[in-house]
């Protein structure tokens, strides 16, 4: 479990994290989402005990990170931004160093070492210097470091940054498997990742919490939620007909590929009426799609709205 209460961090006049209160329970994968410079990394560094908060507090598994730092750090597996590691060491030396630092002794240490090497497929590179590894491999070594002591709480700062699609998939699977009984907090600016991984999303910008919801709830905030889109050449005449349907709020046509999107009135379901109408008109529609909503649009709306109000205040 991770809890923060009014967690605040200032650098001079700049407030990087502003009274952030969140609570992540076991079984949750919370995605901390925000534009660059929103305060994601600063918030994580405070929870990890690397930075001291200006005010407010953070607890990991009930241990205050300032008052019981060692207990909090023992409960936490942390992948810092950029997955830093000691370049002059080999992967084996580095992971053995972590084993010793985590106080894993004898048999237990070997077991965890082997398990993690297998989970992250590091067998082939154990003898290589970390300096010589690709970005993706280095990230995997960083992940191995974070999960080595099998922590109940996992905090990963941009875990898939710099990975290719296959590696991203592998890392997401790993997180998925680990998620079952653990508390996981990941930061990202990849919206696909949120949909793929997280069962809860917190959006922050300028250090402030702006939204706390499930990915589906966020998608429902999109104006695309429940919209129906299709491609149909020569459908100019049917637009008017579509617009006259009682459930329809509006219609847009993509100027590039001519794809038509029909927006519903709030709460209305329009897939069936639209389909019926198109069939009645005898229009050839190759494929028709019901939109779930666009996270990127919601994200932009939430985070840029904040900028506008902040600008108005300034």
Partner 1 sequence: MSPVNAVLRRELRSYFVTPVAYVFLVIFLVLAGILTFYVGDFYERGQADLQPFFVTHPWLYLILVPAITMRMWAEETKGGTLELLLTLPLTLWQAMLGKFLAAWLFIGLALVLTFPIWITVNYLGSPDNGVIVAGYLGSWLMAGNFIAIGACLSALTRSQVVAFILTALVCVLLILAGQPQVLDFFQGALPRRLVNAVAHLSMLRHFEAISRGVLDLRDLVYFLFSTLGWLIAGVLLLDLKRTR
- Considering the rule CB under 8 A, would residue 73 count as an interface residue with partner 1? yes
The yes or no reply on residue 76 touching partner 1 (CB under 8 A) is: yes
For 120, residues 6+ apart whose C-beta sits below 8 A from its C-beta are: 140, 141, 143, 144, 174
CB atoms within 10 A of CB 272: 10
Give the CA dihedral 14, 188, 298, 266, nearest 10 degrees. -130
Site membership for partner 1, residue 294 (CB under 8 A): no
Question: Minimum Å distance from CB 108 to partner 1?
Answer: 14
Could you say whether residue 101 binds partner 1 (CB under 8 A)?
Answer: yes
Distances (CA, A) of 232 to 240, 272, 275, 282, 295: 14, 17, 12, 11, 26
* Sole binder of partner 1 in the list 29, 39, 78, 211 (CB under 8 A): 78
- Out of 21, 37, 52, 290, which residue is the one contacting partner 1 (CB under 8 A)? 52
Told to check if 50 binds partner 1 by CB under 8 A, we report yes
Candidates 5, 64, 93, 212; binder of partner 1 (CB under 8 A) is 93
Q: Is residue 109 a contact point for partner 1 (CB under 8 A)?
A: no
Residues that contact partner 1, how many (by CB under 8 A):
29
In this complex, which beta carbon is closest to partner 1, that of residue 101 or of residue 108? 101
**Cβ nearer to partner 1, comparing 42 with 238:** 42
Both structure tokens of 21: 């209160």
Give, in order, the Cα–Cα distances in Å from 272 to each of 11, 238, 254, 290: 55, 16, 22, 10
Question: How far apart (Å, rounded) are the C-alpha atoms in residues 105 and 113?
Answer: 11
256 interacts with partner 1 by CB under 8 A? no
Token code pair at residue 100: 């010793």
Q: Are 67 and 73 in contact (CB under 8 A)?
A: no
Which positions from 120 through 179 interact with partner 1, judged by CB under 8 A?
Answer: 145
Choose, by CB under 8 A, the member of 24, 43, 91, 98 that binds partner 1: 98
Residue of 161, 126, 162 whose CA lies nearest to 41: 161
Question: What DSSP designation does 265 have?
Answer: P
**Any idea which residue has 């666009």 for tokens?**
294
Shortest approach of partner 1 to residue 230 CB, angstroms?
A: 49
The minimum distance between CB 185 and partner 1, in angstroms, equals: 14
Q: Which of 6, 21, 62, 100 binds partner 1 (CB under 8 A)?
A: 100
Q: Which residues of this chain interact with partner 1, rule CB under 8 A? A: 45, 48-52, 69-70, 73-74, 76, 78, 80-82, 84-89, 93, 97-98, 100-103, 145
């Amino acid at each position: 479990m991770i809890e923060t209460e009014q967690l605040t961090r200032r650098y001079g006049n700049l407030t990087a994290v502003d009274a952030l209160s969140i609570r992540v329970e076991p079984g949750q994968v919370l995605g901390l989402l925000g534009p660059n410079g929103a305060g994601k990394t600063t918030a994580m560094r405070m929870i990890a005990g690397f930075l001291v908060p200006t005010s407010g507090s953070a607890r990991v598994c009930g241990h205050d990170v300032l008052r019981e730092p060692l207990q909090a750090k023992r409960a936490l597996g942390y992948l810092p931004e950029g997955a830093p590691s000691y370049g002059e060491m080999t992967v084996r030396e580095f992971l053995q160093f972590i084993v010793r630092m985590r106080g894993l002794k004898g048999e237990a240490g070997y077991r965890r070492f082997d398990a993690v090497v297998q989970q992250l497929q590091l067998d082939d590179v154990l003898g290589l210097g970390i300096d010589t590894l690709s970005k993706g491999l280095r990230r995997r070594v960083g992940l191995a470091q974070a999960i080595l002591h099998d922590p109940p709480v996992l905090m990963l700062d941009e875990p898939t940054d710099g990975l290719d699609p296959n590696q991203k998939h592998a890392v997401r699977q790993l997180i998925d498997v680990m998620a079952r009984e653990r508390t996981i907090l990941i930061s990202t600016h990849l919206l696909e990742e949120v949909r793929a991984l997280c069962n809860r999303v917190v959006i922050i910008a300028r250090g402030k919490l702006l939204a706390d919801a499930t990915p589906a709830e966020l998608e429902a905030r999109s104006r695309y939620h429940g919209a129906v889109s299709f491609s149909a050449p020569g459908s100019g005449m049917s637009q008017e007909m579509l617009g006259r349907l009682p459930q329809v709020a509006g219609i847009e046509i993509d100027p590039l590929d001519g794809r038509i999107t029909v927006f519903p009135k709030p709460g209305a379901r329009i897939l069936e009426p639209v389909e019926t109408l198109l069939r009645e008109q005898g229009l050839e529609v190759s494929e028709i799609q019901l939109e779930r909503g666009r996270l990127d649009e919601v994200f932009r709306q939430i985070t840029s709205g904040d900028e506008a109000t902040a600008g108005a205040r300034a």
